[in-house]
A and B are shown apart, each in its own frame.
Chain A
Amino acid sequence: AQTVTQSQPEMSVQEAETVTLSCTYDTSESDYYLFWYKQPPSRQMILVIRQEAYKQQNATENRFSVNFQKAAKSFSLKISDSQLGDAAMYFCAYKRYNNNDMRFGAGTRLTVKP
């Protein structure tokens, strides 16, 4: 079974600084997708970034980037120039290539200090 582990229940960062959120996963598959979702206090689930396992290049979306280490089964999210609006729960998620059963980690609560 695929599991997703987020080992940091809470993280904090100073505004304008950089923070990295960790995620590891367990799978025997070679083709899969990884995602980071953001859930602000408004409780919406917002897609931040996604990575296809077959791509070696790390995905980036503006201030958000990932460090995808396939051999280590690690998928960390780096937020640069943190803003107050980045404060939220962040969920790492895994999905097999031909299966839509998306598995989520327990989440990391990010606080941004002004």
Chain B
Amino acid sequence: DSGVTQTPKHLITATGQRVTLRCSPRSGDLSVYWYQQSLDQGLQFLIQYYNGEERAKGNILERFSAQQFPDLHSELNLSSLELGDSALYFCASSENGQGNQPQHFGDGTRLSIL
């Protein structure tokens, strides 16, 4: 158990819809990262937040947004969903925002778009 909690574990929805994925980092971790794992693109970094502020941005679509709240949990919002958004979405956390800290991953949320 990594200590990172992601909800829900599975999500099934239709094209055009909007969903919110939730992540609670390990106790004491200030930094949260979001990743997308799909069959064609592999594992891709989406975005990082550190103590409530956006720290780094990767291959995140404009239809996607994220935020980190004062209690340090984070949400990833996906809107205008397309079939290609079907993937496993991981949240990871680390103690600080420095690159020398390992990232600990949650179990992921599997998103299926019908």
Contact = CB atoms under 8 A, between A and B. Distances in A.
Contact of A43 (B33, B42, B88, B97): B88
Interface in A55-112: 91, 95-107
Contacts of A42: 107
Contact of B42 (A37, A50, A104): A104
A50 B94 CA distance: 14
A47 interface: yes
A44 B102 CA distance: 15
Interface in B65-104: 88, 90, 92, 97, 99-100, 102-104
A52 interface: yes
Nearest to B97: A100
Contacts of B92: 45
Contacts of B100: 33, 52, 97
B9 to A, nearest CB: 10
Contacts of A101: 45, 48, 56, 58
Interface residues on A, range: 20 to 34
A107 B98 CA distance: 25
- Please report whether the interface of chain B is mostly helix, strand, loop or mixed according to DSSP: strand
B88 A47 contact: no
A100 B98 CA distance: 7
A33 B101 CA distance: 10
A107 B58 CA distance: 20
A95 B42 contact: no
Contact of A44 (B2, B48, B56): B2
A45 B92 CA distance: 9
Given A43-B88, A101-B58, A102-B45, A96 B99 contact: yes
A100 B56 contact: yes
Contact of A95 (B55, B99, B104, B110): B99
3 closest Cβ pairs, A-B complex: A45-B105, A104-B43, A100-B56
